[in-house]
Chains A and B, each alone.
Chain A
Amino acid sequence: MKKIKPLVLIVDDNSTNIDLLVNTLKNDYRLGVAKNGQKALDYTEKRLPDLILLDIMMPGMNGYEVCGRLKTATRTKDIPVIFITAMTETAHKTRAFEAGALDYITKPFHTAEVKARVRTHLSLKKAREHEIYIASKIQKTLLLGKPPRDINGIQIAQLTIPSQKVDGDFIDFFKLDNQCFDLVVGDVMGKGVPAALLGAAIKSHFLRVLNELIRLTDRKEFPDPEKIISAVHSSMIDQLEDIETFVTLCYARFDMAKHLLSFVDCGHMRTIHFHADSNRCSLLRGVNMPLGFPEQEPFKQTLVPFKPGDLFVFYSDGLTEAKNQDGVLYGEKRLVDFVQKNAIIEPKELINTVRKDVVAFSQSDIFDDDLTCVLVGIEKKSALSDKAELKIKNNLTELAEVRSFVRKFCESIPDIHLNNNRINLIELAATEVTANIIKHAYDGHSDEQIWINALLSDDKIVFRFYDWGKEFELKSVPSPVFDGSLSGGFGLHIISHTVDEVTYSRDEKGRNCACLKIKL
């Protein structure tokens, strides 16, 4: 592929100067010409030059002003500007650099010097762009974790708009079990490759610390967030001090079983907590200093209970410090108001409306800082009942299938926590019911079928087992004997002692139904 030559914009009101510069550069670069300051700005609206050669003394807008304007717009602020002018006094040169110029060439100039300086600044620009490319690669692959999908009763959505200068925003998720996950959002002070690498290092420290602590503690209890942060801090403080930086972050644990958020905030942006019942937002602020501050009190976590329909918004300063063209910040208040007004929308859609709002506000989709935002929505208790169905053959080999159906249904119910012991008992009852039907109702005919329905309502789960076999008479079954003298007769006893209610019935079509109710 033919390499596209860099585009250089020449801004000068003097035709002789323009001709001279064009002749000097035309073989090596694509060239654009603007004869005054306004035309130069108009030009950059349409095309983005790789470098600008700018005259200072021009009618209308002078070179300083043009340069200043270029440097305040996100789109053009990284274009290298070289002033070319007859003014040789130090005060002029200083002013040019203050306006944001990278270099200064005085007239009359030597063509060789112009060529050399343009070449040098273009290669420096290329090197900077390459660094940004690497940093954004690191960011995309190492700094942004993927949210867990299968946490019951929770919806997570995230938004990241990398800036031209990567500044080390990072996000990660650690799933602890089906009811519980940890989220860490953080921001490394600094930009580019160093910040991105440090962000990646911190993420791996979290993983290591989490692993070690989980191994050391009782399996049933996960290590507290404050313990995790303390361990990460003490393992990183020397490195952070060495490179003289610090990290703000928020480490949050969502426990769906307890409906509890426990978080450690280390100088990060205040997390927004939308309360569904009062339709209001509160701001969560922790008490800890950023990581990397040597004199650190013990890290403390804060507990926040949540309810169905609540929403949490985690974000980096890139979001609230996004500027509009007058330099006004998007701001925390605007974000809070926006969340309060739109919290009813599902997180996956809401995150897009957040993006649209901040883009509309700043009238640009390019930002100075990385912009990250994570939404964690607690699902509303569904008013609709959930149901499931299983059809099996009248064969004892299907018992495992019945158990897996029952377990899956019990585990899939959002917002309702059935502990494992309870599910074990429900599995046992379902096995007994099914085995009874197979053994007794159909007299061993294996080509018959059994239907199982599961139905969830607000306060209970009901499993119904249907068969078309012999009628079952509860009275005909003898009471169980517990002295070890008989091998059978325990089935009904087990069923009635493992679920809250059991009924047996037969409809007019000759269909038997065993019905198990489990109260929630």
Chain B
Amino acid sequence: MKLSTEKIGDVTVVTVLTEVLDASNTEEFKVAAAPILEGTTKVVFEISQIKFMDSSGCGVLLSHLRQLKSSNGNLKLCRVQEPVRTLFELVRIDRIIEIFDTKEEAVKSF
């Protein structure tokens, strides 16, 4: 899976370049994201490309969140498409991970 990264100050913005994040590719996502999250604490996932996500996708986001929090960092999300937002509300991820409309707002919030 392709992830593109960008450093803005001390925040790492990861753009997730896939339209689907479900049980078929969460493992792939985990493997691709691992080296990026290594050695950084403040991370924003830009997920505007994702049109479909399932509970496995939520699971992997939560595990990244826990990993970052354990080293006093945090994970934030931005540019979430409507179906994905509906899913987040269903499993109440929107109460655990902060979600922003734009990348800039997400970066500024740290």
**C-alpha gap A396/B24 in the complex (Å):** 5
- For A491, give the chain B residue with the smallest CB separation: B55
User: Are A432 and B54 in touch, CB under 8 angstroms?
Assistant: yes
B83 at the interface (CB under 8 A from A): yes
Interface of A is mostly: helix
A7 at the interface (CB under 8 A from B): no
User: Are B90 and A497 in touch, CB under 8 angstroms?
Assistant: yes
- For B58, give the chain A residue with the smallest CB separation: A490
A421 at the interface (CB under 8 A from B): yes
| Residues of chain A lying within 8 A (CB to CB) of residue B96 | 482-484
User: Are A439 and B23 in touch, CB under 8 angstroms?
Assistant: yes
User: Are B22 and A435 in touch, CB under 8 angstroms?
Assistant: yes
User: Are A427 and B92 in touch, CB under 8 angstroms?
Assistant: no
Asked if A425 meets B86 with Cβ closer than 8 Å, knowing A396-B24, A435-B22, A483-B96, the reply is yes
A58 at the interface (CB under 8 A from B): no
User: Are B23 and A488 in touch, CB under 8 angstroms?
Assistant: no
User: Are B23 and A435 in touch, CB under 8 angstroms?
Assistant: yes
Say which residue of B20, B82, B90, B95 sits within 8 Å of A494 (CB atoms).
Answer: B90
B52 at the interface (CB under 8 A from A): yes
Total contacts A to B, CB within 8 angstroms? 71
User: Are A428 and B60 in touch, CB under 8 angstroms?
Assistant: no
User: Are A487 and B54 in touch, CB under 8 angstroms?
Assistant: no
| Residues of chain B lying within 8 A (CB to CB) of residue A497 | 90
A323 at the interface (CB under 8 A from B): no
User: Are B87 and A494 in touch, CB under 8 angstroms?
Assistant: yes
User: Are A396 and B90 in touch, CB under 8 angstroms?
Assistant: no
Interface of B is mostly: helix
User: Are A427 and B52 in touch, CB under 8 angstroms?
Assistant: yes
B2 at the interface (CB under 8 A from A): no
User: Are A428 and B54 in touch, CB under 8 angstroms?
Assistant: yes
**C-alpha gap A69/B68 in the complex (Å):** 97
Interface flags for A467-505 (1: CB within 8 Å of B; 0: not) read: 000000000000010111111101101100110000000
Question: How distant is A406 from chain B, measured CB to nearest CB, in Å?
Answer: 12
Number of interface residues of A (CB under 8 A): 29
| Residues of chain A lying within 8 A (CB to CB) of residue B66 | 484-485
User: Are A431 and B54 in touch, CB under 8 angstroms?
Assistant: yes
| Residues of chain B lying within 8 A (CB to CB) of residue A428 | 52, 54, 83, 87
Asked if A396 meets B23 with Cβ closer than 8 Å, knowing A482-B91, A484-B65, the reply is yes
**C-alpha gap A488/B54 in the complex (Å):** 11
- For A430, give the chain B residue with the smallest CB separation: B54
The segment from A224-232, A311-319, A354-362, A397-405 found at the interface with B is: A397-405
User: Are A397 and B65 in touch, CB under 8 angstroms?
Assistant: no
B4 at the interface (CB under 8 A from A): no
User: In the complex, which residues 18-55 of chain B have their Cβ closer than 8 Å to any Cβ of chain A?
Assistant: 20, 22-24, 52, 54-55
Additional A-B contacts beyond A424-B83, A490-B91, A491-B55 (4; CB < 8 A): A431-B52, A438-B23, A482-B95, A490-B55
What are 19 A-B interface contacts by the 8 Å CB criterion? A396-B24, A399-B54, A421-B83, A427-B52, A431-B54, A432-B55, A435-B55, A435-B56, A484-B66, A484-B96, A484-B97, A485-B66, A486-B62, A488-B55, A488-B59, A490-B55, A493-B90, A493-B91, A497-B90
Enumerate chain A interface residues (CB-CB to B < 8 A): 396-397, 399-400, 403, 421, 424-425, 427-428, 431-432, 435, 438-439, 480, 482-488, 490-491, 493-494, 497-498
